Amino acid sequence: MSPSLATPFAHIVDDDEAIRDALSWLFRTRKVESRAWPSAEDFLAAWQPDWRGCIVLDIRMREMSGLECFDALLERGNTLPVIFLTGHGDVPMAVGALKKGAFDFLEKPFDDNALVDVVIRALESNARRQANQETQANVAGLLAQLTPREQEVMQLVLVGKFNKVIADELNISMRTVEVHRSRVFEKMGVRSAVELAQLLAPGRD
């Protein structure tokens, strides 16, 4: 974990320069790094899948609206939490945004500290999610190292079948199953079928 991952970070997307500046200053005073974007288009053009932090998104902007920007991010598989800011309350809009996965929806005027608190909570909850996702990705990486045959054998091992049965179902000798099984354990970094099951447990096929 590099220090940059631990430092709170927020992307500010708002077409009002005064607000961008105010939020940047606000975040700085609370030790949250930030970067401000003058439009949804600029933000989307620069957006990278590996970005960290969260996104503070104004709803009403001149060209692309915050909601449209949010939809575009969803399509691109964005995983960063999004916090909406809006001047005029609109319940259906807020409900829709939250149901699509936005982290929060704040109505102006809002308490400055409340916004930062929300940002920090968003980052914390996302960090936990991210951690799980990364271990999942590691497992996927290990799985990718298995040959097709090894994966086949593994599936059958995972349902608790005997080598004898597996050999029968795949029409190969027991010895071959043993070899594959052993290679699977080795590549996955486990020492038994039970450990393998545990490793693959949380998100299984």
Partner DNA sequence: TTCCACACTGCGGATAACCACAATTGAAGA
Partner DNA sequence: TCTTCAATTGTGGTTATCCGCAGTGTGGAA
Which residue lies nearer to DNA by CB, 1 or 144? 144
Which residue lies nearer to DNA by CB, 20 or 180? 180
List 13's β-bridge partners, or say none.
Answer: 37, 57
Backbone angles phi, psi at 118, to 5 degrees: -65, -45
* Range 99-138, binding its own copies (CB under 8 A): 99, 104-107
Q: Is 205 in the site for its own copies (CB under 8 A)?
A: no
Q: Is 162 in the site for DNA (CB under 7 A)?
A: yes
Which member of 95, 137, 175, 203 binds DNA (CB under 7 A)? 175
> Are 20 and 43 spatial neighbours (Cβ–Cβ below 8 Å)?
no
Q: Is 58 in the site for DNA (CB under 7 A)?
A: no
| CA pair distance 184, 172, nearest whole angstrom | 17
Q: Is 28 in the site for DNA (CB under 7 A)?
A: no
Alpha helices (H) along the chain: 3-6, 17-29, 40-46, 66-75, 91-99, 112-144, 148-158, 163-170, 174-188, 193-199
Which region, judged by CB under 8 A, interacts with its own copies, from 21-29, 43-51, 86-94, 176-184?
A: 86-94
In angstroms, the first-to-last Cα distance of the chain is: 29
How many residues in total does the chain contain?
205
Which residue lies nearer to DNA by CB, 100 or 191? 191
Q: Is 141 in the site for DNA (CB under 7 A)?
A: no
Residues that bind its own copies (CB under 8 A): 86, 89-92, 94-95, 98-99, 104-107, 157-160, 190-195, 197-198, 201-202, 204
